[in-house]
Amino acid sequence: MKKIDIVLSLAAGEGVALLFDWLLKNSQVEFTFLYWLLPIIFPILSLFCLWLAYFVGKKFIFVFQLAKFLLIGALFAVFDLAILNGLMEYFNATSGIKYLIFVSISFIIATSVKYFVDKFWAFEKSSADKVGSEFGLFFAITAISAGIQIGIAHIIVNVIGARLGLNPLVLGNVGKIAGIAIASAWNFIGYKFFVFKK
């Protein structure tokens, strides 16, 4: 494993831990012991899983690629959610059409940066050739993913939301996370076999 693998896996684990801490604090459920435990456990678990995938990946390369892709996804999901939360809090809007606009904005910003990390780290495609067409295909596949994410988020927040009885800010995050999780499978297949194919 390279140093960048270690650094990014620890960063992804810490980012996800901080997100879970924030969600727990805002869900009004008392899990105080987790507030300090998660930021320790998640980075270690993240690094261990990547290390395990590295050894399995020596025989099946896609395993290591998938592990890195999932870590990048987790890291950029936190980045995406940070943008979404900033918009929801700044404009004091957690549902309806404004929420869908905020989900779209955060998605576009996070995806634009994520392209380079996926290209150079997860799929290790060092060539700078055809960046324009490659980015266009990346964005097209990701746009379908956006439709999946926004659709799932809409169903959870605007259709099911009232029945769940959650804090609106937490509900907005739950909708976004569920959308990201479901869209990730589509992204991995599209990026591996169409965008970053070798």
Residue 150 lies in a domain: yes
28 phi/psi in degrees, rounded to 5: 65, 25
The pLDDT, as a whole number, for residue 130 is 67
Residue 47 lies in a domain: yes
Q: How many domains does the chain have?
A: 1
Residue 198 lies in a domain: no
Return the number of other C-beta atoms located less than 10 Å from residue 104's C-beta: 15
Residue 124 lies in a domain: yes
Residue 12 lies in a domain: yes
> Which residue is it, tokens 């959610």?
81
The pLDDT, as a whole number, for residue 45 is 93
- pLDDT (tens digit per residue) in 63-96: 888 888 888 888 888 888 889 888 988 998 888 8
- pLDDT (tens digit per residue) in 119-146: 877 777 776 666 677 878 888 888 898 8
- Report whether pLDDT(108) > 70: yes
The pLDDT, as a whole number, for residue 43 is 93
Percentage of the chain beyond pLDDT 70 is 92
- pLDDT (tens digit per residue) in 8-39: 889 888 988 887 777 777 666 666 777 778 88
Residue 155 lies in a domain: yes
Residue 4 carries which side chain, given as an amino acid letter? I
Three-state SS at 174: helix
Give the largest Cα separation in the chain, rounded: 52
pTM over 0.75? The answer is no
- What CA–CA distance (Å, rounded) separates 18 from 70? 17
Percentage of the chain beyond pLDDT 90 is 10
Domain span holding position 128? 1-193
Residue 65 lies in a domain: yes
Residue 184 lies in a domain: yes
- pLDDT tier at 53 (50, 70, 90 boundaries)? very high
Residue whose C-alpha is closest to residue 170's, from 20, 67, 64: 20
173 contacts: CB under 8 Å, gap ≥ 6 = 19, 23, 81, 84, 85
Which two three-digit tokens encode residue 158? 């605007």
